[in-house]
Amino acid sequence: MNNTYLSHNNIVSSFGFDSQAAVVNIKNEVSGLQLVDNPKMLPEPFYSSLIPAEKTRSVFETLNPQQEYTRLEQILLVSLERVIKKSQLELNDRVGLIISTTKGNIDVLSEDSPFHKNRAYLGELGKIVQSFFGFKTEPIVVSNACVSGILAVAIAKRFISQGRFDHVFIASGDLVTPFILSGFHSFQALSPTLCRPYCKTRSGINIGEVAASALVTRSDANLAEEAVKILGDASCNDANHISGPSRTGEGLYRAVRSALSEAGLVSEEIDYISAHGTATSFNDEMEAIAFDRLGMQKTPLNSLKGYFGHTLGASGLMEAIIGMHSLHQNTLFTSKGFQELGVSKPINVITETTPRELKTFLKTASGFGGCNAAVIFQKLQK
Amino acid sequence: MGDIKQELKSKIIEQLNLEDVTVDEIADNDPLFGDGLGLDSIDALELIVMLDKDYGIKLSDPKEGKKIFESIETMANYITANKTK
Amino acid sequence: MMKDNYRIASYCHIKNNEISLNGALIFKGEGPFKTFIKMAYQHFAVDYPKFFKMDNLSKLAFMAGDVLLKHEKVSPEQEENIAIVFSNRASSLDTDRKHQESIQDVTAYYPSPAVFVYTLPNICIGEISIKYKLYSENSFFIFDAFNPDYLFEYSSSILDSGKAEKVLCGWVDFDEENYEAFIYLVSREGSFIHSTEEIKRLY
């Protein structure tokens, strides 16, 4: 059985242009969420973490772009460029490219966008990233709601295990747009306050934006020092409702079971869960039920939504990256916003940054369409 | 009052795409959710939008909807008492 | 690495107001998509009121899935581990445009939750999963054009790793009244070889 690793990585966020900036702030329990009052985005104020556009542009200019790029393309390219550079890989036909996004350049559909509406086709986004760096293989765009980012890691591993690629670069990202905000608002899912995953006083989601990129590889040469082995992965459907999470947590339960089985682990061997935790009433409750059924009531768990909000197609990958840094630093990060348990089953929400010897972690995500995904990672033996 | 009930029935059929249901088949006191018309959580949100768009009523707490959307009768009463357009 | 040889059990096309199963025409309708797909719904006695709440992409994918899974005698009562792997070019753009229209004008700003929920391409996988009680693997890919190569490899990987017993796989695209579905069931048994060439030929 061949090993597959999650290695070099980058996070572009409101905190800066590398993973380190995000990790340091999370470790210090600093949130990137702020109140935004911009009627052009949403008629009422909302909490979000936005990537500063001006700063992005100036960082992007250093890559010598030869044409105009959308803001999403800029953050994806800036993020991915850093990962490609660190990997020192030649982009030949053994190197794949996965783009993970829910809505891509959806903002070009707006009448005030200077870009052609065709830019909204996700295949176009794939081609733009492919040709910017000169990837030799055709890009694979994954658009599977809020599990896209973590599912992309599973997909990369699967293509590698089929012998199709030796290395796969994943770039993930979604913007905070009027399109997305209005939709979640119509669902009455946006929180008027900072989001509080799993908390008694939780009142919904904050939507944020990041771009996250990473290398998935079968080669153990030149791995990042925080690299982790990908032990098992799965995605399962709730078969229940297209927007309402399952009352029994069935899909999530099955996804974790399936990932554990591939990893050859039992639930007690998971040291930490990086959960989804959107802070909606139903999602968090569903997760608690699933983890309870899995016998993971005592496993330390956090949601990182309190730092950046829900970052949609990037969230799963970004949170997996934070998880690998958490393992590397042997530190459990606080589940920001949490005060008092507000779900019906016991779960062990991390309430302060805690040093802890960590070897394995589970990353989960759930989304519209009833989809759930789980991936298990393990620290490399030194 | 009778008018608004008829109006609501046809609106609900149209906006919630209840293809196999006719206005005559919905009684004023039939439950809209559960065993009645079988509406779901997305339909409930859609009815909240309808109240806003057609009657100028803003519901900020979705829990309020539960009582209002019990039946055509309860909806019509609420709309008659609270509409602003 | 030795790989199992998988087969394609059956396949279904929907395009140009026609539905065919394993290459044979089984329904011909008329009119715009909305009319055509309703005729198909009635013809096959689908009897699933939720169908009319779906967006165009979900109606298309659901109808193709329903025809194929019924033919394969898949039933919600008897659970089967069938993964769903779909792909297309236009993602959910048909519905995305509708949602955008509802927020474009600030004086008539009424985004609809029933529209917004369909602004994700994988919702159509959820719709089939709900009807057939498939608690299985899901993935939705966007490609510039039908990509039998990637689909072949990905389905094989899901079957090789034992994550599913069968894979319902293919292309479901809806864009400005242009629509096309081609889906097939990869299994251990069936009349057709599961290979990139064969998928291309059947397509």
Q: Could you tell me if residue C2 is inside a domain?
A: no
The token pair at A191 is 């929180």
Could C114 and B42 be called an inter-chain contact, meaning their C-beta atoms sit closer than 8 Å?
yes
Q: Does the domain formed by B2-82 have CATH 1.10.1200.10?
A: yes
In one-letter notation, the amino acid at residue A27 is K
Contact between residue A127 and residue A292 where contact means Cβ atoms under 8 Å apart: no
Indicate yes or no: pTM above 0.90: yes
Looking up residue C53, the CATH number of its domain turns out to be 3.40.47.10
Contact between residue A335 and residue A349 where contact means Cβ atoms under 8 Å apart: yes
The residue of chain A nearest to residue B41, with distances taken between CA atoms, is: A244
Residues on chain B touching C113 (C-beta within 8 angstroms): 42, 45-46, 49
Q: In chain A, what is the straight-line distance between the N-terminal and C-terminal CA atoms, in Å? A: 20
The candidate with the shortest Cα–Cα distance to A170, out of A314, A46, A274, is A314
Query: Residue-wise pLDDT tens for chain A (382 aa)?
Result: 579 999 999 999 999 999 999 999 999 999 999 999 999 999 999 999 999 999 999 999 999 999 999 999 999 999 999 999 999 999 999 999 999 999 999 999 999 999 999 999 999 999 999 999 999 999 999 999 999 999 999 999 999 999 999 999 999 999 999 999 999 999 999 999 999 999 999 999 999 999 999 999 999 999 999 999 999 999 999 999 999 999 999 999 999 999 999 999 999 999 999 999 999 999 999 999 999 999 999 999 999 999 999 999 999 999 999 999 999 999 999 999 999 999 999 999 999 999 999 999 999 999 999 999 999 999 998 7
- Find the domain containing C114 and state its range: 7-202
pLDDT of residue C2: 44
Give the span between the Cα atoms of B12 and A313, in whole angstroms.
Answer: 34
In one-letter notation, the amino acid at residue A376 is I
Q: Is A243 on the interface with B (CB under 8 A)?
A: yes
The residue of chain C nearest to residue A370, with distances taken between CA atoms, is: C126
Q: Is C114 on the interface with B (CB under 8 A)?
A: yes
Q: Could you tell me if residue A222 is inside a domain?
A: no
Taking only residues 16 to 45 of chain B, the set having a beta carbon closer than 8 angstroms to any beta carbon of chain A reads 40-42, 45
Give the span between the Cα atoms of A182 and B45, in whole angstroms.
Answer: 13
pLDDT of residue B65: 85
Q: Is C45 on the interface with B (CB under 8 A)?
A: no
- Shortest distance between the Cα of B46 and any Cα of chain C, in A, equals 6
Rg (CA), chain B: 12
Residues B51, B57, B60, B63, CA torsion sign: negative
Could B45 and C113 be called an inter-chain contact, meaning their C-beta atoms sit closer than 8 Å?
yes
Q: Could you tell me if residue C1 is inside a domain?
A: no
Give the span between the Cα atoms of A58 and A72, in whole angstroms.
Answer: 14
pLDDT of residue A1: 56
Q: Is B63 on the interface with A (CB under 8 A)?
A: no
pLDDT of residue A109: 97
Tell me: do A252 and A353 sit in the same domain. Answer: yes
Q: Could you tell me if residue A223 is inside a domain?
A: no
Could C53 and B20 be called an inter-chain contact, meaning their C-beta atoms sit closer than 8 Å?
no
- Shortest distance between the Cα of A222 and any Cα of chain B, in A, equals 49
SS3 C202: helix
Last residue of a domain, one of A169, A198, A217: A217
pLDDT of residue B2: 67
Domain count, chain C: 1
Looking up residue A201, the CATH number of its domain turns out to be 3.40.47.10
Among chain B, residues having any CB pair with chain C shorter than 8 Å are 16-20, 38, 42-43, 45-46, 49, 52-53
The candidate with the shortest Cα–Cα distance to C202, out of C187, C185, C188, is C185
The token pair at A231 is 């032990």
A34-36/A46-48 β-pairing = antiparallel
Domain count, chain A: 2
Closest in C52, C111, C117 to B19, CB measured: C52
Residues on chain B touching A244 (C-beta within 8 angstroms): 40-41
Q: Give backbone dihedrals phi and psi of A297, rounded to 5 degrees, phi first.
A: -60, -30
Contact between residue C139 and residue C85 where contact means Cβ atoms under 8 Å apart: yes
Closest in A39, A155, A164 to C139, CB measured: A155
pLDDT of residue A31: 98
Tell me: do A235 and A195 sit in the same domain. Answer: no
- Shortest distance between the Cα of C20 and any Cα of chain B, in A, equals 26
C touches which chains (3+ CB pairs under 8 A)?
Answer: A, B
Q: How confident is the model at residue C1 (pLDDT cuts 50, 70, 90)?
A: very low
A360-367/A228-237 β-pairing = unpaired
Mean pLDDT across chain A: 97
Tell me: do A59 and A201 sit in the same domain. Answer: yes
pLDDT of residue C192: 95
Could A143 and C132 be called an inter-chain contact, meaning their C-beta atoms sit closer than 8 Å?
no
**Average of per-residue pLDDT across C16-26:** 98
Give the span between the Cα atoms of A138 and A344, in whole angstroms.
Answer: 46
Q: Could you tell me if residue C47 is inside a domain?
A: yes
pLDDT of residue A177: 98
- Shortest distance between the Cα of C30 and any Cα of chain B, in A, equals 19
Give the span between the Cα atoms of B69 and B34, in whole angstroms.
Answer: 12
Give the span between the Cα atoms of A253 and C32, in whole angstroms.
Answer: 42
A touches which chains (3+ CB pairs under 8 A)?
Answer: B, C
Could B41 and A188 be called an inter-chain contact, meaning their C-beta atoms sit closer than 8 Å?
no
Contact between residue A376 and residue A232 where contact means Cβ atoms under 8 Å apart: yes
Q: Give backbone dihedrals phi and psi of A103, rounded to 5 degrees, phi first.
A: -120, -5
Tell me: do A175 and A289 sit in the same domain. Answer: no
Residues on chain A touching C153 (C-beta within 8 angstroms): 159, 162, 164
Q: Could you tell me if residue A367 is inside a domain?
A: yes
Could A163 and C1 be called an inter-chain contact, meaning their C-beta atoms sit closer than 8 Å?
yes
The residue of chain B nearest to residue A243, with distances taken between CA atoms, is: B42
In one-letter notation, the amino acid at residue C170 is G
Q: Counting runs of H as helices and runs of E as strands, what totals does chain C give?
A: 7, 8
Q: How far is CA A264 from CA A233, B1, C135, in A?
A: 11, 65, 21
Give the span between the Cα atoms of A58 and A309, in whole angstroms.
Answer: 25
Closest in C99, C113, C122 to A144, CB measured: C122
Tell me: do A239 and A206 sit in the same domain. Answer: no
Q: Could you tell me if residue A127 is inside a domain?
A: yes
Q: Could you tell me if residue C155 is inside a domain?
A: yes
Query: Residue-wise pLDDT tens for chain B (85 aa)?
Result: 568 999 999 999 999 999 888 999 999 999 999 877 889 999 999 999 999 999 999 987 777 888 899 999 999 999 999 999 8
- Shortest distance between the Cα of A280 and any Cα of chain B, in A, equals 13
In one-letter notation, the amino acid at residue A216 is V
The percentage of chain C sitting over the pLDDT mark of 90, rounded to a whole number, equals 95
The token pair at A227 is 């690299």
Domain ranges of chain B: 2-82
SS3 C182: strand
Give the span between the Cα atoms of A144 and A186, in whole angstroms.
Answer: 21
Q: Could you tell me if residue A193 is inside a domain?
A: yes
Q: Is B48 on the interface with A (CB under 8 A)?
A: yes
B touches which chains (3+ CB pairs under 8 A)?
Answer: A, C
| DSSP, residue by residue, A236-250 | EE-SS-SSSPPSS-H
The candidate with the shortest Cα–Cα distance to C130, out of C195, C62, C57, is C62
The candidate with the shortest Cα–Cα distance to C85, out of B75, A142, A215, is A142
